[in-house]
Amino acid sequence: MIIPNNLKDTISSFLLDNYSIHDVEDKLLFNETRKEFEGDITFVLFPFLKATKTNPQVLGESIGEHLMKNLDYVESFNIVKGFLNLKFQDTFWLEAFRSFDTEENYTFDDSTILVEFSSPNTNKPLHLGHVRNILLGWSTAQILQAAGRKVIKTQIINDRGIAICKSMLAWTLFGNEATPQNIGKKPDHFVGDYYVKFEQEFKNEYESWQISDEANTLFEESEKQDKSVFFKSYKNTYFNEKSALGKQAKSLLLKWEANDPDTRKLWEKMNGWVYEGFEETYKRLKVEFDSYYYESDTYKLGKDIIEGGLASGVFYKKDDGSVWIDLEDAGLDHKLVLRSDGTSVYMTQDIGTAQLRYQDTRADGMVYVVADEQNYHFQALFAIMKKLGESYSDHLHHLSYGMVDLTTGKMKSREGKVVDADDLMNDVISTAKQNAIERGETESISLEEREQIYEKVGLGALKFFILKVNPKKRMVFDPNDSVDMQGTTGPYVQNAYVRVQSINRKAASITIENEKGYNKAEEIEIELIKRLLEYPEKLKKAAEDYDPSIIAMYCYDVAKVYHKFYNDVRILGAEEDSAKAFRVLLGDKTARILRKGFNLLGIEMPERM
């Protein structure tokens, strides 16, 4: 909603002069006039009824008259209940449209910010959960950049630990020297298969152990009623203390930590495969990073900071040697930052990594795109950074997003109940292809270009489907809905853009300057202008809230109005040259805004579809 600069001032000085009401600035409330009433902007009268001792009709009349007299763009007004509806002249909107520069660069804030997203484990391929993370991170980075900030896109790769050791072990035991190349498999999937293989073998081992006397004795000693409940809860202990496979995996981890050359070599080989696969997926998703941090480099960081904080009294040491911080004044708990044996925990590492990143980049703030299961962790981390007095600690933000559920329930990677990222992309693209073939619009286009269109449309559908939902909400993923291409979808918006391009191709001979003669606009044209003018405020809001769904919904709104415009009026067939030129220009600016908006979402626009 666009509120003219002098409208607020005119009303507040009127209230001051005639009713002696001071400081009304933040009580002035405007809404877009609802469709069923006549007007553009509605001023809410209720807050001033008491002070003016009048009724809405009288107050509305007097303000309305005053505005008509003093602001030339106010064409008429009407009062409904406590609402003063103001109608502006068409020329007000037309002028605003003419001076609206779609290519303007905005700078709401020019500080540097680091955005961390994706951050996968290296033992298995990316899945739907990562896809939401990656799309949110990428889009948020684009939005922040468009809002003027210097953005550094990064990730922390969890490349060490027991999980990758499981894949390594399974490959050693069962791999027979196979490689992704010689069996022709995407390399991250190849490594993931060995992780699954390990879990299967371990499960078999565990199940055969469960019928042993030892297992039975343990069960009887436990308080558990039910065997399956007991064995479920005992699984971790079994892995750590009894399992032969567990023992081997753990020994690999120890060897890795001791820098054993063969282990390191194997680790590098398997991680290398995974990165190769990830890059392929990122490339297809059209995302890239400015830097990478590896857990194998950072997992020991933070200890010196703990030492310093211990000296300055930020942390305290218990008798057993473990180090803690009291976060009760931040509404949190006491949190462990160093184990009693002096080794670090997740938090230690995160403290160190934040510090390292600040040293590397001097970023004024950081955004962590991480699922909402880690809300507490980040609250604690930020509180700790604040207590440590870090300059950037007030500008740390956890972009917390809800997990993605399937229609069949929760995703569980250990049970193989996941939607694989690569499969998902293939599905949406092939659906786009089928739809396109049925429509037959692209028959005249070269095969290669057609494939690009299917990809843009398919990925557009998928990305929009995910990004249109407010990040903090849990979302239900129905594979059928995600490839929907009608209604509130990516292709719907792309289609508006394509319609403009189709017209532009035919409008080459039109003299755009003729549009200056257009001064009486259709209602739908004014509506479209209003939407376009909202772009900067939507961008600002999306950046402030770290919320791409604002941009997605905005693009949908714009496209929706354009589609109606397209249906309601003749563009190239307009009677007058001025109308023809104006409508072509209106369409062109619409397309530019849509392309800009979609670029912020990481979605490409096809020229035809």
User: In whole angstroms, how close is the CB of 475 to RNA at the nearest point?
Assistant: 3
Q: Which of residues 538-567 bind RNA (CB under 7 A)?
A: 549-550, 553, 560, 563-564, 566-567
Q: Of residues 572-591, which lie at the interface with RNA (CB under 7 A)? A: 572-573
Shortest CB 349 distance to RNA, Å: 7
Q: Taking a C-beta distance cutoff of 8 angstroms, is the pair 602, 463 a contact?
A: yes
According to CB under 7 A, which one of 232, 506, 516, 520 is a site residue for RNA? 506
Q: How far is CA 482 from CA 130, 460, 573, in A?
A: 16, 10, 37
- Site for RNA, residues 590 to 609, rule: CB under 7 A: 607-609
Tell me how far, at minimum, the Cβ of 503 lies from RNA, in Å. 4
Which tokens go with 199?
């879990």
Residue given tokens 């409008």 in the structure block: 507
Nearer to RNA, 184 or 331 (CB): 331
Binding flag, residue 485, RNA (CB under 7 A): yes
Backbone angles phi, psi at 399, to 5 degrees: -80, 95
The residue (of 357 and 499) whose beta carbon lies closer to RNA is 499
Binding status of residue 194 toward RNA by CB under 7 A: no
Only segment of 146-154, 215-223, 415-423, 492-500 that touches RNA (CB under 7 A): 492-500
| Interaction of residue 452 with RNA, rule CB under 7 A | no
Angle between helices 303-312 and 346-361 (to 10 degrees): 100
Position 488 contacts RNA (CB under 7 A): yes
Binding segment for RNA (CB under 7 A), chosen from 191-199, 256-264, 307-315, 496-504, is: 496-504
For RNA, which residue of 277, 302, 491, 602 counts as binding (CB under 7 A)? Answer: 491
**Shortest distance (Å) from residue 140 CB to RNA:** 15
Nearest distance, CB of residue 346 and RNA, angstroms:
4
**334-338 and 323-326: which strand pairing?**
antiparallel
Instruction: Give alpha helix (H) positions in 20-127.
Output: 49-52, 56-70, 90-98
Q: Does 53 bind RNA (CB under 7 A)?
A: no
| DSSP three-state, residue 293 | strand
Q: Least distance (Å) from RNA to the CB of residue 433?
A: 8
With binding defined as CB under 7 A, does residue 322 bind RNA?
A: yes
* Beta strands per DSSP E along 167-259: none
CA atoms within 13 A on the CB side of 238: 20
Residues 195-254 that bind RNA (CB under 7 A): none
Which whole-number Å values give the CA distances from 301 to 29, 338, 352, 362, in the listed order? 51, 12, 5, 18
- Round to whole Å and give the CA distance between 84 and 33: 9
Nearer to RNA, 50 or 213 (CB): 50
Residue 182 within binding range of RNA, rule CB under 7 A: no
Q: Looking at residue 486, what DSSP letter applies?
A: S
Radius of gyration of the chain (CA): 30
In terms of CB distance, is 57 or 217 closer to RNA?
Answer: 57
Cβ 597 vs Cβ 555: under 8 Å = yes
Tokens of 117: 């997203």
| Binding range to RNA, per CB under 7 A, among 14-22, 227-235, 278-286, 486-494 | 486-494
Distances in Å between the Cα of 207 and the Cα atoms of 200, 212, 217, 227, 455 are 10, 10, 15, 12, 45
Q: Which is nearer to RNA, 417 or 474 (CB)?
A: 474
Binding mask 511-530 for RNA (x = CB under 7 A): --------------------
Q: What is the closest distance, in whole angstroms, from the C-beta atom of residue 213 to RNA in the complex?
A: 28
**List 134, 157, 411, 457, residue binding RNA (CB under 7 A):** 457
Name residues contacting RNA, limited to 398-437 (CB under 7 A): 402-403, 410, 432, 435-436
Alpha carbons 382 and 114: distance in angstroms, whole number: 15
Span 462-481, contacts to RNA by CB under 7 A: 468-470, 472-476, 478, 481
Q: Which of residues 58-87 bind RNA (CB under 7 A)?
A: 80-83, 85
Give the C-alpha distances (Å, rounded to integers) separating 62 from 54, 67, 69, 87, 384: 11, 9, 11, 16, 56
Q: Which is nearer to RNA, 85 or 263 (CB)?
A: 85
| In the complex, least distance from residue 372 CB atom to RNA, rounded to whole angstroms | 6
| Min dist. Cβ of residue 422 to RNA (A) | 21
The residues, ordered by sequence, that sit 6+ positions from 266 with a Cβ below 8 Å of its Cβ are 168, 171, 172
Measured from the CB atom, is 180 or 239 closer to RNA? 239
Distance of closest approach, residue 223 Cβ to RNA, in angstroms:
19
HSE-up (13 A, CA, CB side) for residue 412 = 5
Measured distance CA(97)–CA(33) in Å, rounded: 19
Taking CB under 7 A as the rule, does residue 109 contact RNA? no
Residue 31 contacts RNA per CB under 7 A: yes
Given the complex with RNA, which of 52 and 502 has the nearer CB atom? 502
34 vs 69 by CB, closer to RNA: 34
Which residue, 34 or 362, is less far from RNA as judged by CB? 34
Paired tokens of 490: 């990516």
SS3 annotation, 357-373:
HHHHHCCCEEEEEEEHH
Minimum CB–partner distance for residue 587 and RNA (Å): 9
Residue 124 or 364 with smaller CB distance to RNA: 124
Shortest distance (Å) from residue 295 CB to RNA:
6
Distance CA 92, CA 522 (A): 13
**Within 327-386, which residues bind RNA (CB under 7 A)?**
333, 336, 339-341, 345-346, 372-377
Residue 196: count of CB within 10 angstroms of its CB: 17
Stretch that binds RNA, among 222-230, 382-390, 420-428, 497-505 (CB under 7 A): 497-505
Question: Which residues, 6 or more positions from 40, have their beta carbon under 8 angstroms from its beta carbon?
Answer: 32, 33, 86, 87, 88, 93, 526, 530
Positions 126 through 165 that interact with RNA (CB under 7 A): 158, 161
CB of 211 to RNA, least distance (A): 26
Residue 87, amino acid: K
Q: Choose between 425 and 453: whose C-beta lies nearer to RNA.
A: 453
Count residues near RNA (CB under 7 A).
87
Does residue number 28 form part of the binding site for RNA (CB under 7 A)? no
Distances (CA, A) of 379 to 49, 109, 332, 489: 44, 24, 8, 35
